[in-house]
Amino acid sequence: GIIVTVPYKHLADQWESEAMNFGYNILKCYGDYKKWIDVAYKIVNDIIYNLSSYFFIITSNATFMKSKFQTILKLLDTQKIKYLLIADEVHNLGGNKIKNKLPISADFRLGLSATPERYMDDEGTKVIKQYFGNEVINFGIKEAIENKTLCKYYYYPIIINFTENEEAEYKEISDKISHLFQKNGEVNPSNSELLKILLLKRSRLLANADNKRTVLKDLLLQNKNSYYNLVYCGDEIEYDSLDESNEDN
């Protein structure tokens, strides 16, 4: 069998579309559990009683970590059913809420990510590597361009300034960070979690600086007659805090 877990629902739709091209029947497990839980149990029971030879389940990370889906995983473990676990954007599985939910029953494991190292989270990165193993394939930007998987592009950095309030907040956070370091340059283990929080807070301050919006508006006006523009935005939401409000435990 195959279980694919993804951080966002649009990725689930993409996986479903691609898998259907290979003739798979797909069960998507997310949202209201009443819509999929009975079918999921039937799929597992059909495998147990040799009424079916495979299953293909796609779920969201939010559903994956909840008790309803975890019960399905435990049933697979109890019955010693072999399956492949595929984690798309695998760096998300190192988050605090989900990293302890990874099933030991998955005999085969595949993690996919352009950024497998979790930013300023050595512990989360270690969990991912211990569970999925070290990198086996690394397809870089240079190779992707040469292979025409990515188009050639030019990179133009644009420097912006903080607002007065942002600059003051950045200095305040930086001062707090510096005070966490001892004279030998190391951090007391008791301060490691606070350091992580402060580093993330400072990083988000950089990523979401107000003047970026002003510069972006000017760029859009300058290129108002161009087409197929793609804008990436700073992410203010923790990956492991994503949830589905219409889903029970």
The pLDDT assigned to 230 comes to 84
The pLDDT assigned to 236 comes to 52
The pLDDT assigned to 188 comes to 75
* Structure tokens belonging to residue 68: 């309803």
The pLDDT assigned to 243 comes to 44
CB 243 within 8 A of CB 28: no
CA nearest neighbour of 3 among 44, 46, 42: 44
C-alpha distances in Å from residue 97, one per residue of 92, 101, 149: 10, 8, 34
The pLDDT assigned to 187 comes to 75
> HSE on the CB side for 207, CA within 13 Å?
12
| Separation CA 177–CA 171 (nearest Å) | 10
Provide block-wise average pLDDT over 10 residues at a time, the chain (249 residues).
Answer: 93 94 92 93 92 93 95 93 95 91 92 87 90 91 91 90 96 92 75 85 90 93 88 58 45
The pLDDT assigned to 120 comes to 73
Q: How many CB atoms lie within 10 A of CB 105?
A: 17
| Separation CA 55–CA 211 (nearest Å) | 49
Four-residue CA torsion sign, 15, 16, 19, 24: positive
The pLDDT assigned to 235 comes to 57
> HSE on the CB side for 65, CA within 13 Å?
21
CB 93 within 8 A of CB 45: no
The pLDDT assigned to 241 comes to 37
181 strand-pairing partners: 187
| Separation CA 241–CA 7 (nearest Å) | 11
CB 38 within 8 A of CB 72: no
The answer for residues whose C-beta is within 8 angstroms of residue 101's C-beta and 6 or more apart is: 64, 65, 70
Judged by DSSP in three states, 40 sits in helix
| Residue that is written with structure tokens 């370091």 in the block | 181
